């Protein structure tokens, strides 16, 4: 049966001489894998079609869907939104690839979750238009707020009394945890500020240096690894830390 759905490209693997297998987070069906034939060809008629399947691309799709199959097929595809900056700006592209990898590691089940889809879509659209001050803090914002949809978001109970952040429990606590997975000041206060951000443009009010961002990104990676099985480490994190100063 054919269905129309929006989708966000997460991963592309070459298949055969002219085809690709694409992992796409769809509005209707959640995470899905699709085989797309004939897009890697020198034919003038089909030139540029493979460009649609870049990580973070937002597409309009007409797909065949069979719940009994692990690999689906795409009948038609076109741009839903063509970014002005993400594919061409080095810093924004690095942030987008970090976001994509985080999604690859956390989206496990092929289940529809429209609220999560719209959050992700909105996050990429805002990144595309964000100014420099916002982009530097964007990975922190995305990592913290994405966790909400998986049920292990930090509870924002930070205060002068509850000033330790227990990464294992996801809570601000009164004293140093007995395990090594925690944050202290000033990183706990900054995390609390980031949790309060509801619109990306508010990120420009949070002034952070390179070392602070590095520590927070590493800590948030640990936070995800503690809550998602086989999360491992993120390959894009090192690149991101080099590019964003």
Using CA atoms, how far apart are residues 138 and 96, in angstroms rounded to an integer? Answer: 10
Q: Are 240 and 101 contacting, i.e. CB atoms less than 8 angstroms apart?
A: no
Which of 61, 42, 145 shows the shortest CA–CA distance to 103?
145
Structure tokens at 103: 């999604």
Beta strands in the chain (DSSP E): 2-15, 19-26, 30-36, 58-64, 71-81, 164-166, 171-173, 182-183
Report the pLDDT value the prediction gives residue 244, as an integer from 0 to 100: 85
Q: Which residues contact 114 (CB under 8 A, 6 or more apart)?
A: 27
CATH code of the region 86-245 = 1.20.1440.120
**In the structure, how many helices (H) and strands (E) does the chain have?**
6, 8
Q: Are 33 and 70 contacting, i.e. CB atoms less than 8 angstroms apart?
A: yes
Q: Which pTM value belongs to this model?
A: 0.94
Count of C-beta atoms within a 10 Å radius of residue 146: 21
Which letter does DSSP use for residue 68 in this model?
A: T
Q: Where are the domains of the chain?
A: 1-82, 86-245
What is the pLDDT tens value at each position of the chain, 245 positions in all? 899 999 999 999 998 888 899 999 999 999 999 999 878 765 555 545 778 999 999 999 999 999 888 899 999 999 999 999 999 999 999 999 999 999 999 998 888 999 999 999 999 999 999 999 899 999 999 999 999 999 888 888 999 999 999 999 999 999 999 999 999 999 999 999 999 999 999 999 999 999 999 999 999 999 999 999 999 999 999 999 898 87
Q: What angle do CA 56, 24, 52 make, to 5 degrees?
A: 55
Report the pLDDT value the prediction gives residue 46, as an integer from 0 to 100: 55
Cis bond before residue 186 (omega within 30° of 0): yes
Q: Are 27 and 81 contacting, i.e. CB atoms less than 8 angstroms apart?
A: no
Using CA atoms, how far apart are residues 245 and 162, in angstroms rounded to an integer? Answer: 30
* HEC letters along 114-169: HHHHHHHHHHHHHHHHCCHHHHHHHHHHHHHHHHHHHCCCCECCCCCCCCEEECCC
CATH code of the region 1-82 = 2.40.50.140
Using CA atoms, how far apart are residues 181 and 193, in angstroms rounded to an integer? Answer: 20
Report the pLDDT value the prediction gives residue 6, as an integer from 0 to 100: 98
Using CA atoms, how far apart are residues 31 and 10, in angstroms rounded to an integer? Answer: 9
């Amino acid at each position: 049966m054919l269905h129309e759905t929006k989708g966000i490209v997460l991963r592309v693997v070459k298949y055969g001489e002219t085809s690709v297998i694409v992992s796409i987070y769809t509005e209707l069906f959640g995470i899905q894998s699709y085989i797309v034939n004939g897009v890697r060809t020198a034919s003038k008629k089909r030139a540029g079609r493979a460009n649609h399947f870049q990580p973070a691309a937002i597409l309009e799709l007409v797909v065949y869907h069979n719940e009994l199959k692990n690999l689906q097929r795409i009948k038609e595809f076109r741009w839903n939104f063509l970014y002005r900056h993400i594919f061409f700006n080095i810093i924004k592209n690095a942030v987008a690839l970090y976001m994509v990898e985080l999604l690859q590691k956390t989206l496990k089940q092929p289940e529809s979750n429209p609220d999560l889809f719209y959050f992700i879509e909105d996050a990429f659209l805002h990144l595309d238009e964000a100014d420099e001050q916002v982009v530097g803090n964007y990975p922190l914002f995305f990592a913290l707020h994405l966790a909400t949809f998986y049920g292990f978001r930090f509870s924002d109970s930070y205060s002068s009394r509850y000033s330790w952040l227990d990464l294992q429990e996801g809570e601000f606590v009164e004293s140093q945890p007995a395990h090594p997975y925690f944050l202290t000041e000033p990183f706990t206060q900054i995390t609390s500020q980031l949790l309060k951000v509801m619109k990306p443009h508010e990120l420009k009010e949070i002034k952070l240096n390179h070392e602070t961002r590095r520590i927070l990104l590493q800590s948030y990676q640990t936070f995800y690894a503690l809550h998602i099985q086989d999360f491992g480490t993120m390959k894009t994190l090192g690149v991101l830390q080099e590019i964003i100063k």
